[in-house]
Amino acid sequence: MTSQVTSSFQGTADLPKWVSPAMLLAFFLGSFTLQVMLASSTEQNELNLIPVAVFGLVGYAVALYALSRFVEGRRKATDRLVTILVTAAFSLALIPLLSLAYTVVQNGVARFDAEFFTFSMRNIVGEGGGALHAIIGTLEITGIATLISVPIGIMAAIYLVEYGRGTIARLVTFFVDVMTGVPSIVAGLFAYALFVIFFGPGVRMGLGGAIALSVLMIPVVIRATEEMLKIVPNELREAAYALGVPKWLTVIKVVLPTALAGIATGVMISIARVIGETAPLLIIAGFTASMNYNPFDERMMTLPVFVYTSYANQGVDMQSYVDRAWAGALTLMLIVMVLNLVARLISKYFSPKG
């Protein structure tokens, strides 16, 4: 009789909302107190917080699961346990990102000033100078790479989704998959080898860097556009065909506008993917301390190469070079952040409503 009452009671109630955070706080405080006691007993000066987090989280997960299993039933207890595990995994993955962002901001603000954005490194040895030439070079090279990659990527994706059938479509898909995994330095070597054919050995120019980045960018644009085109409902296409609209016009007037937000987001993500590449630009775009607005002539500096060379080729005043490297890294991180925010806004405001 008692077992039947207990069985009927289990799973019929819900834990109050305050129970979970209260248990989490109690177990972390208990784990922290135990760690302090152990440190004082062993006369350790440093307190290791990793065991505090591990034992506190494990104790909290086991205790909450047991309590939820008794009060709420097996299903809700399992749901709570999986939620804890997923949240813990997400928090663990977030720690390196937050640590990286904090380190870059902390070290980059020392030279994040007006001079950094208004001067180049021409005739600068030691303290002073800026990264204006690198910022201009990054924007120009990335812009040219975008102009090359976006039309090719979108048209290739349209072919694969709307027209591609048979061997040619399978070959295009295969080579897109292969290009997605190509190391960035291979793209730089390809661009260098291509330009050597026309301009001779030792060629360096911004256009070559744009070609190298476009090799890396095209497969990302194709994949993103292809996925967006696939999720466009076939009913829209069939409705257009029923009205007598040709297929090419259906693609332009119906399919592409419907997938525009996702395509634009994919393009922004692909730009953010390639804007921080160093190896291909170091090979084909080269290094210079002066301004160069012409991507078709001579070497052109970029932010990733600026960061690398500032840290790798430190002069007498080493701290000045390190500060410039951190400031360049912070600038690059902010540019990538802005691109991702733009992608979010495009996806929010230009996606089909309803």
How many domains does the structure of the chain reveal?
2
323 pLDDT more than 50: yes
Task: Clarify whether residues 49 and 167 are in a common domain.
Answer: no
Give pLDDT, residue 6: 42
Out of 110, 145, 172, a domain closes at 110
Residue 261 lies in a domain: yes
Q: Which two tokens stand for residue 286?
A: 């080269």
% of the chain at pLDDT higher than 90: 38
Give pLDDT, residue 340: 84
Range of the domain at 48: 19-110
Contact 172, 164 (CB under 8 A): yes
3-state SS class at 48: coil
Task: Clarify whether residues 153 and 228 are in a common domain.
Answer: yes
Task: Clarify whether residues 167 and 228 are in a common domain.
Answer: yes
> Residue 245: which CATH number?
1.10.3720.10
The residue to which tokens 């104790």 are assigned? 59
Residue 168 lies in a domain: yes
Give pLDDT, residue 350: 72
126 pLDDT more than 70: yes
253 pLDDT more than 60: yes
Out of 56, 87, 110, a domain closes at 110
Out of 37-46, 242-251, 255-264, 273-282, which region has the weakest mean confidence (pLDDT)?
37-46
Out of 110, 135, 160, a domain closes at 110
Distance of CA 314 to the CA centre of its chain: 29
Helices within 42-165 (DSSP H only): 49-71, 74-108, 114-118, 132-158
Q: Which two tokens stand for residue 305?
A: 């190469």
3-state SS class at 352: coil
What is the C-alpha separation between 138 and 143, in angstroms, rounded?
8
Give pLDDT, residue 304: 92
Task: Clarify whether residues 149 and 102 are in a common domain.
Answer: no
339 pLDDT more than 80: yes
Write the pLDDT tens digit of every residue in 141-184: 999 999 999 999 999 999 999 888 888 889 988 999 888 888 99
Write the pLDDT tens digit of every residue in 10-59: 455 788 888 888 888 888 888 888 877 877 776 666 667 778 888 888 88
Residue 295 lies in a domain: yes
Residue 250 lies in a domain: yes
Give pLDDT, residue 16: 85
Task: Clarify whether residues 133 and 161 are in a common domain.
Answer: yes
The residue to which tokens 């690398």 are assigned? 308
What is the C-alpha separation between 217 and 311, in angstroms, rounded?
27
